[in-house]
Amino acid sequence: MSTDIVTDAVLREVALTRAEYDQVVELLGRPPSPVELGMFGAMWSEHCGYKNSRPLLKHFPTSGDRVLQGPGENAGAVDIGDGLAVVFKIESHNHPSAVEPYEGAATGVGGIVRDIFTMGARPIALLNSLRFGSLDRPRNRYLFDGIVGGIGGYGNCLGIPTVAGDIFFDDRYNGNPLVNAMCVGIVPHDKIMRATASGVGNLVVLVGADTGRDGIHGATFASVENPEESHRGVVQVGNPFLEKLLLEACLETLEVSGVVAMQDLGAAGLTSSAVEVASKGGLGIEIDVQKVARREVGMTAYEVMLSESQERMLIIVEPPSLDALVTIFDRWDLHSDVIGVVTDDGRVRILDGEDVVADVPATFYTDDCPVYIRDGVESAAIVALRNTDISSWDALEATDVLPALGRLLASPNICSRRPVVSTYDHTILSNTVVAPLEGDAAVVRIKGTRRGLALKTDCNPRYVYLDPRLGGMHAVAEAARNVSCAGATPIALTNCLNFGSPEKPEGYFQLEQSILGMAQAAEAFGTPVVSGNVSLYNESEGEAILPTPTIGVVGVLDDVTKHSGSTAPSGTELWLIGNLEATLGGSEYLAEIHGITAGRPPALDLNLERLVQAATRALVGEGIARATHDTSEGGLLVAVAEMLAPSGTGASIDISAVVTANDNSLARACFGEAASRVIVAIEPADRDLFVRRCAELGVPATALGTVTGRSLEVATVGSVAISDLAAQWTSGLGTSDAIV
């Protein structure tokens, strides 16, 4: 059935195609009302409906012995022992942050925190993963300063430490920065709350901020190309102090026996929260928008249902428990209203006083959302880049090694993140054991137990760009390797899939192949994907971002005191365990020194990767490793310098074995990149034990040298003062008065 009642302009506003609108009409047997159309647009958006990615996400392993809740709820929950679960998820706020960086990033933090305490978990840590264009451009500097400020401003005020993250710069992010926020919380197994309506006649309570016009069409705005063409009103304004009250009040309501479900109002606001709790429970829900508290006069039912005003929560409660619930909210100075009821007819019915403005089966919004399976085609231009002969860059004179090292240490993708992390308070709650800049992953203690968690986000988008499947595998491997370097066992992961338009064959190819690579690596490491987010249509001026499947990994330490940082103590010996062979393909060296992204990314042997990570964990747990650091962007010499620069201590090293393994190429030996290798600092007295344990654990170990003096001395290459390298390393991001 087709109709021309709705104009193309209206369909663009709700991000539905004409064919999708026709499908709505066919489902309903009539044209939708304006409110119904807006709700379909939100629920069938990529952000809420996953219509281009849903079939691909089925490739991920999502179950395991530790998994208590996989994908499908607000966040994943994984057993960590002692009757406790870690609850975590990562989400994007890319498009809002491109329009208004401070509030876009701030409300991204607020949204992901609500996903965690909605599950009944107390948030204990925040992470982020950021991507920007070159800071030489004033617009990118403005975005960088605003986004970092927004993350720090909201998290600090909320009282949750920001403990880890990653940042990457490339011109392909010039018009479209990426802002991915991750939150981690702790909850007893029996206190996990789910967003599933139950109990016909139970009351629907809306608590928190009054509803305004901010954020209307936010979900649809995030699911179309050229989001900057949309109006500024899509960006929400957050209030972290109100969210703190909401957090504490909602956690207190877990003690009220009649609270049966909880759902935050995030993307698509009241629409998505109402539809999701009804659909999951196989029941219906009836809401009267007249009962929704508003901060602006004249708001229509359409605006109320699609507003994405922040700091709001939907709670399903049994009628006898309502007074106890309201008492808690009143004590926390939070406004609450009964706005509806759970019904038995499976329909989402929206009233505006006496008028019925929407009446649709819940499954029409969810189960009947269109799904697109497309044919991906790899870009011929990218194939040509991957097949580029990069051997001409293997040649590097010994006299050029240390100048190149300094230049790499000063590059934005390698330099110290202190100007950023100093914006965030990582000491709140006094749980942080390994702080930002101190290790490859953050380590936080679980109070009341001996346990700890290691946390990290990561992704090398150049690898994914040049080879999506291999790059997806690398993203999982590196994040897990960072957690293993802390001494923790990776137990599960979350991901945020940031890509361009899936409607373009090249974009769909990148998305599909990356997912296949991530799934393969996650299966190999025994780290199921328990939550995540998809952010597509990240494009500006017709150019997509670098494909960026950000990975967040959580690892467990049974004894939090047995952890490792990355700064090598004076007097220790440096050894390289694992892979010796490196490549310049997709490396920071090629990009920074020669201005090219080309070649094949490093090979990844998942069996060797498992062995290296297991060996690293064993060496840390047995107290043999005094410091550990994986070699990633920039290669071996960069990793060595990063282990020395924070303390100002030098080292005397000999890399001849690595040079030989790389066909006598100094460039590959010094700056080539490779998976499955970690630098370990040990005490000289433990040398024999270390060598024996590496042999028993099945990983090769190569001596590099000793941490000593105040210079980095590289045999047959030269010497440079660590203070000079440290000065270059700390200068890469510059300074800005806008970072507060």
Locate 218 and state its tokens.
Answer: 């936010």
DSSP state of 449: S
CB contact at 8 A, 460 and 482: no
Residue 690 to residue 694: CA distance in whole angstroms: 6
In what side-by-side order are the strands of the sheet with 355-361?
Answer: 259-264, 312-317, 203-208, 336-343, 284-288, 347-352, 355-361
Locate 145 and state its tokens.
Answer: 């300063």
The secondary structure of 473-521, three-state, reads: HHHHHHHHHHHHHCCCEEEEEEEEEECCCCCCHHHHHHHHHHHHHHHHH
Q: Sign (positive/negative) of CA torsion 14, 502, 107, 117?
A: positive
Cα 201–chain centre separation: 38
Q: How far apart are the first and last CA of the chain?
A: 56
DSSP state of 547: P
713 exposed, middle or buried (CB, 10 Å; 0-12, 13-18, 19+)? middle
Q: What sections of 487-624 are H helices per DSSP?
A: 505-525, 588-594, 606-621
| Catalytic-labelled residue, pool 59, 93, 189, 629 | 93
Q: Report which residue type is found at 231.
A: H
Residues 6+ apart with CB under 8 A from 297: none
Please name which of 649, 655, 613 lies closest in space to residue 637, comparing C-alpha atoms: 655
Please name which of 43, 37, 44, 35 lies closest in space to residue 303, comparing C-alpha atoms: 35
Q: What sections of 672-714 are H helices per DSSP?
A: 687-697
Q: Report which residue type is found at 195.
A: A
Using CA atoms, how far residue 480 sits from 112, 123, 324, 504, 565, in Å, is: 22, 22, 44, 31, 15
The helix/strand/coil state of 12 is helix
Q: Burial code of 160-184, b = ≥16 C-beta within 10 A, e = fewer?
A: bbbbbbbbbbbebbbbbbbbbbbbb
The helix (run of H) or strand (run of E) holding residue 302 is: helix 301-306
- Whether residue 93 lies in the annotated active site: yes
Neighbours of 689 (CB within 10 A): 14
Task: Give the strand pairing for 718-721 and 711-714.
Answer: antiparallel
CB contact at 8 A, 115 and 66: no
Active-site residues, by number, are: 47, 93
